[in-house]
Amino acid sequence: MSVTGFSHLSVQVRDIDKVLPFYRDLLGLTVSIDRQKEFSAPDREGRRVHFRRREVYLRWENRWGASYVVLGQHFDREQEGSATPLQGIGFDHVAFMVDDVRATVDRARQLGFEVITGPSENDGPANAHPGAATVRTALFWDPEGNVVQVDQWLEEGEA
């Protein structure tokens, strides 16, 4: 048994309508499903808890089995917690491959989203690639304070 790919990322938010433009308009993800759903699930103490929420599914590929992002907003309870800071314990950021990091940074500024850092170039080992390839990268905060990174593999030697 082994991992064969990445299924999805679930991001719980306080206001989908505020967060959706970041993932749709900036990153270019396409809404494939926008629905309200009711379900129940166990909490940490094993009690069944009923939920009513809105779910927006976003994809970068429209094919069966492709990875996706889900934004979720609960209607019947206040969302608890806050985003994990960069380098904090837990999942501290998510990274997407894009075709042009510089254009993504420019678009983020036009749309009013905050750029944390970049664009900057890193070597392959900084992005889990043992070769000498170069990666251009930038980091942003989404409207909920989650850190989102974009990466672009460059031709070897291009900076």
Same topology, domains 8-74 and 94-154? Answer is: yes
Instruction: Tell me the C-alpha distance between 125 and 131, whole Å.
Output: 7
What CATH architecture is 8-74?
Roll (3.10)
Per-residue pLDDT, 157: 47
Instruction: Tell me the C-alpha distance between 90 and 87, whole Å.
Output: 9
For CA atoms 79, 24, 4, 139, give the dihedral sign: negative
Q: What is the mean pLDDT of each run of 10 residues along the chain (159 residues)?
A: 86 95 97 93 87 94 91 84 78 91 97 95 68 84 95 68
What CATH architecture is 94-154?
Roll (3.10)
pTM: 0.84
Element (H, E) at 108: helix 101-111
Give 112: exposed, middle or buried? Use CB within 10 Å, 0-12, 13-18, 19+.
exposed
Nearest to 86 by CA among 146, 130, 136, 154: 146
- Position of tokens 């979720």? 72
Per-residue pLDDT, 146: 94
Q: Where are the domains positioned within the chain? A: 8-74, 94-154
